[in-house]
Structure formats: structure tokens, C-alpha cells
Amino acid sequence: MTSVIMHTSEGDIHLDLFDQQAPQTVRNFLGLATGTQEWKDPITGETQNDPFYNGLSFHRIIKDFMIQGGCPLGTGTGGPGYEFDDEIDPSLTFAEPYKLAMANAGTRRDPSTGEVHGTNGSQFFITTVPTPWLDGHHTIFGQVADEESKKVVDTLDAVATNGADQPLEPVIIETIEVL
């Protein structure tokens, strides 16, 4: 199990990643976090190898549900320039809070091949309450590791937001450190 520390403007969140149950998702997250996974800047279209998450915000926070980050545009519409399929493991559920999962737009059919594929990229969320209705729809690839980190997530869950669930004051992912 890989562990990371997400250093945020509100404190550190220690996360344990589920390497065995979601290997592709964990590889993608770690690659984007460290800069070893190539990504495309959504504004310039240029290929990048910088740590993707550094300086991004938690762009969507819904109290008593989840905190979401990983959009390079800060709008919930951006990603790394590619998509990949879900890795749903039935042994992992949203029965408890503090699960780390991929945010996505469901599945899409490729117009040229007709094949259905997932829409995971870079956006993720951390639940703040049990959310069993999400089971089978989002890849769970980690969890908050300790009580101190849960307090940081709870602090983020309580920030003031506007009608679009965007924090009134930015909450920043400063860096992600792989332990």
C-alpha cells in the first residue's frame, strides 16, 4: 500500500492508496503527482511532465458529501488530456467516509468504434460522510489514513462556498508527497 501526504493550504492529508485493488488508477494518480505521467495542458495544448496537482484547488466542496480537486482549470471541466476506465472492486465501498475516489462523467460511447469507455482522468474526491449510492460508479483508490488528516478533511468540508459549490476562499493543493 502506497502512502502519500497531500499538503494543502489548510493542513496535511495522509492518504493510503489501494495499489492492489486499483493499480491503474493509483499509477495514474502517483504519475500525475510526481510528474512521471505525461499530461496535456488544457489551455496551451502543450505536453507537460511537471507535477500536475501542485497549485491546483479543491474547486468543488459540497458540505456533508465530498471535497473535489484535480481540475487544472479550477472549474470541474478540465483534465490531463486523456481518459481511462474504472477499476471497480466490489470489496471497496463508500459505506464509511474519508474514501478517495475518481470523479468522472460516467461512461461514454466512442462514436467511431462504438466501444464504451470510462472518463477518469485527474479529478478526484474525498467523501466526508457515507455515500453508498456511489458504489459501482466511481473507482475507490484510497482512504484518509489518520485522525489528524480526517480533521483537515472536515475543515475543508466546512469552508464557505457559493451557489456553485466553489469555495469563497481558495483551498490549494500545494504538493503531493509520496512516502
Amino acid at 166: Q
What are the sequence ranges of the domains in the chain? 2-178
CB neighbour class for 74 (10 Å; exposed up to 12, middle 13-18, buried from 19):
middle
Using CA atoms, how far residue 54 sits from 40, 119, 138, 160, 167, in Å, is: 15, 22, 23, 23, 18
Of 76, 91, 78, the residue nearest 136 (C-alpha): 91
Fold of 2-178: Cyclophilin (2.40.100)
pLDDT tens for the chain, 179 residues: list them.
999 999 999 999 999 999 999 999 999 999 999 999 999 999 999 999 999 999 999 999 999 999 999 999 999 999 999 999 999 999 999 999 999 999 988 777 777 788 777 889 999 999 999 999 999 999 999 999 999 999 999 999 999 999 999 999 999 999 999 99
